[in-house]
Amino acid sequence: MVQAKTTLPEILYNSLENYSSGLFSSTKRNGKWHYTDVQTYLSKVRNLALGLYKLGVRQGDKVSLHAENSTEWLICDLAILSLGAASVPIYTTQPGDQIIYILKNSDAKVHIVSTDALFAETKPLIKSVESVKAIISLFGSKHKKLKSFDQILEMGEVLHSEKPDLFEKLKAKVKSDDLATLIYTSGTTGLPKGVMLTHHNIVSNVEASRERLPYTEKEFFGQDVLTYLPLSHIFERMIEYMYIVMGCKIHYIEAVDEIRDDFMKVRPFFMATVPRLMEKIHTGVKVKGQELSGLKKNLYYWAIYLAAEFDPENPPTGVTAYKYKLADKLVYSKIRELFGGNLRGMVSGGAALSPEIFKFMNAIGFICVQGYGLTETSPVITVQNRKSMRIGSSGKTIRGVQVKIAEDGEILAKGPNIMKGYYKDEEKTKEVISDSGWFSTGDIGRLDEDGYLFITDRKKALFKLSTGKYVSPQHVENLLAGSGFIEQVVVVGFQKKFCSALIVPAYANVKKRLKRDGYVPAEPVSEDKKVRQLIQDEVDKTNRELSPWETVKKFVLLEDQLTIESGDLTPTMKVKRSVVREKYAAQIDSMYAEDE
């Protein structure tokens, strides 16, 4: 079936006009929830669009948006799209020099920023960006040259009273092949590249991805959904468009470390996530059992270990099904309460979800599916659904998208979701998109006989030992991260005789475990012998599951976590391997000193 081309404003306004009355979205800011109804949202979108028009924004122009997730972010986004302009989202964690590069490279005409705190790093440099004609502050500013969000809304309201038909005329001019957004990939290497996505790219992905959701649109309608991933990333943004199309009530949390309280407040029906959050939840659940004793402890771990055997593709029957039912009554139902008691499912993206976490989340009563894609593919290429949940896979291709495996194992994709190209970079565009339209993803994978896609690793992440053996660090890392005592891990070994690892222990859990033996580790904890032995035991367990050349022979314990803020992780929490290797070069070299 050939899908008719349409635009994001068309599908979004069509749904918003049929929205259930009352709440459209809420945003938690400075600890307080701010609520917005549908009519207020729509009127602010119109007024902001006309206010931007008054500032000189026209079809084809670029408007940058540097802000945290919020209803205001969504207002800005749809206002920009309604003018036929393209939004240029910027991560809140992006350093100032990169922001200036993005503004210059994108030719941004207007720059929108949420707060003075976020603007601080950009302010001294922004005068050098000649294309920017106005700067708008969403939540007020002490800087006189910044225009306020309310001021632009008022300008738009006045223009609407003077020209009541203008907004509809501007919307009608937007074409499906127009550029909808210019997303600068905050990748693991080099300067960010501007990925050009058209309205049709994203709409095709929204429509095809909706068909794979684990619940019907009728079941989604009017439900509360929770958002914590950055809207600057196409994964969460595309999900957001799906939520609007299905009539959901969207809730933006303020900080991920407060998510447990937010779950109880929002009681969401569904959420999009990355594996990192579920890994932390899984670790917490496993360690929680240490606080129990006797029969309760035995039953708790019986249920947890039973979850490790769950296969969503082949649900248990007979006596085995009864065991899961009993485990649900005793343990799983209590775990689900931690998510607000109403959560039915989630979709994981941004990085590979380990089989252990996948089985656990589905065993305890959620429908947890994972997908695969990139910014350049709008983003979804494959995704699971309730009828295609093969362990270890990323599901099958969505409607209209094709996948094949190149001779060297690289995943190639083709379809309406493939980007228009990299902005102002024809050479790099030609490197990844062939004349026949196949996009080179940079990932290594395989297709099984039933069409399920399995991701091995990033092509650039695979490394070759001096022995000639190839290692997929992600595979080893996923196994190690399954330990309740390991928070983060990076496996290294390029051109070395063996694999080593940088490990950040889950220090709180490690201390709890040692406290049971009456032992308190000395500072710094990363150098304590008993802490090291506990981690060594976990490494040894993992090594028994690996091929000889994959085993981790040595490791260094890091005192501090790898974070987005420190530049070690991308906004979707993937490790920037080159950054970490350079930052911890001395520690890595120390593990190979005796073998040089």
524 cis-preceded (ω within 30 degrees of 0): yes
Cα–Cα distances in angstroms (integers) from residue 77 to residues 12, 89, 382, in the given order: 12, 9, 26
Task: Give the phi and the psi of residue 172 in degrees, each rounded to 5.
Answer: -65, -25
CB contact at 8 A, 429 and 438 = no
Pairing label, strands 194-198, 179-184 = antiparallel
Please name the residue that has the structure tokens 């599908």. Answer: 11
- State residue 189's pLDDT score: 52
- State residue 595's pLDDT score: 63
What integer best gives the mean pLDDT of the chain? 94
CB contact at 8 A, 212 and 395 = yes
230 cis-preceded (ω within 30 degrees of 0): no
Pairwise CA distance, residues 244 & 349, whole Å: 19
- For residue 348 the two structure tokens come to 């994981």
- For residue 434 the two structure tokens come to 């062939």
Q: What is the DSSP string of 23-43?
A: EEEEEEETTEEEEEEHHHHHH
- Whether 463-595 and 274-451 are alike in CATH topology: the answer is no
Angle at 551 between CA 549 and CA 555, to 5 degrees: 130
User: For the domain bounded by 8-201, which CATH number is listed?
Assistant: 3.40.50.12780
Class of domain 463-595: alpha beta
Q: Which residues of the chain have pLDDT under 70?
A: 1-4, 186-190, 595-596
- State residue 142's pLDDT score: 94
CATH code matching the domain that covers 274-451, chosen among 3.40.50.12780, 3.40.1030.10, 3.10.400.10, 1.10.760.10: 3.40.50.12780
Domain coordinates in residue numbering, the chain: 8-201, 274-451, 463-595
Kindly list the strands in the beta sheet with 552-557, ordered across the sheet, starting from the edge strand earlier in the chain: 486-492, 499-505, 552-557
Please name the residue that has the structure tokens 């306020």. Answer: 148
Pairwise CA distance, residues 45 & 141, whole Å: 21
- State residue 462's pLDDT score: 86
CB contact at 8 A, 269 and 343 = yes
Pairwise CA distance, residues 418 & 173, whole Å: 23
Helix 234-245 to helix 199-210 angle, to the nearest 10 degrees? 60
Its pTM surpasses 0.85: yes
Model confidence pLDDT, tens digit, residues 310-359: 999 999 999 999 999 999 999 999 999 999 999 999 999 988 888 999 99
Pairwise CA distance, residues 38 & 55, whole Å: 26
- State residue 5's pLDDT score: 77
Task: Give the phi and the psi of residue 499 in degrees, each rounded to 5.
Answer: -90, 145
CB contact at 8 A, 415 and 441 = no
- State residue 190's pLDDT score: 63
